[in-house]
Amino acid sequence: MARKRNSQNQQEVKQVSVFESLSAEDFAASGAGSTAEKGEGLRILTDFADTGERYGIIRLVDAEGAPLPGARFAGRKASTVATSLKQALNSKDAPESIAQVKVMSKKGNVYLLNEAVDA
């Protein structure tokens, strides 16, 4: 026979809010509103390839490693941004112009190398 639970032995469970209020400035600084749109990786890579430059950088942190709050990908890790761009490189919609662009993340930033351009 199952025992009845005594309500005196049960602990009171407090209701905890799942969220906190956030100001518009803090929301913008968090980068939460800067999610990538579909096709954005292809646009970034195509824009870079179209410059004719061999080297490029997407700055996410400053020289001391502090996040740049106004950066396009503020709040995102360089490895996450690099992975998104690499996926764009391998997509079926990727134009031939970006085929020789390499994407690397290092020291909190994303580096682009266009191997189609001579050094």
Whether 64 has a pLDDT exceeding 60, the answer reads: yes
Phi, psi of 96 (to 5 degrees): -60, -30
Whether 8 has a pLDDT exceeding 70, the answer reads: no
Whether 43 has a pLDDT exceeding 80, the answer reads: yes
Whether 36 has a pLDDT exceeding 60, the answer reads: no
Residues 94-107 pLDDT 10s:
999 999 999 999 99
**DSSP conformation class of 25:** H
> Could you tell me which residues are beta bridge partners of residue 106?
109
Dihedral, CA of residue 100, residue 84, residue 67 and residue 44, to nearest 10: 50
Give the three-state DSSP class for 64.
coil
